[in-house]
Structure 1
């Protein structure tokens, strides 16, 4: 089963799309953006959780890949 939250591969113009259960939450340019999108979606998070959770599927590179 896929993780309910996906951080998609970096786009050619910069940033990574973030989606939850198929709904696009926004275009993130760093981990702070991912945290904010998840907070707005009602997910209780912190920076360490975003980088190391099985609920996020990092596609096209991990949390250190942004371009």
Structure 2
């Protein structure tokens, strides 16, 4: 059986109407993010900064991935 401290279940929830996304660990809200950098900072403050935010299987992205932030300016990729 896996220990929760070894494998936290992080969820970045679907965007709210204002574009922010709630970040939770199990049933605890860690913070609100409006950008990927916010998710990284929220995890750092929760002592979870060893997680690779964009590639980790420990993070469940709901309603879009790490590049989906409604309201963010679109930057064309060249």
Name the TM tier (shorter chain).
0.7 to 0.9
**2:43 matched to which residue of 1?**
38
Q: Which runs of 5+ in 2 are unaligned?
A: 1-7, 71-78
What does residue 6 of structure 1 align with?
Answer: 11
Q: Aligned pair 1:59/2:70, yes or no?
A: no
What is the alpha-carbon root mean square deviation over aligned residues?
Answer: 1.4
* Aligned positions, number: 63
Q: TM-score, normalised by structure 1?
A: 0.85
- Higher relative contact order, chain-length normalized (CA < 8 Å, sep 6+): 1
Task: Compare CA radii of gyration and give the structure with the larger one.
Answer: 2
Higher helix share: 1
Q: Where do 5+ consecutive residues of structure 1 fail to align?
A: none
Question: Could you state the TM-score of these two structures normalised by the residue count of structure 2?
Answer: 0.74
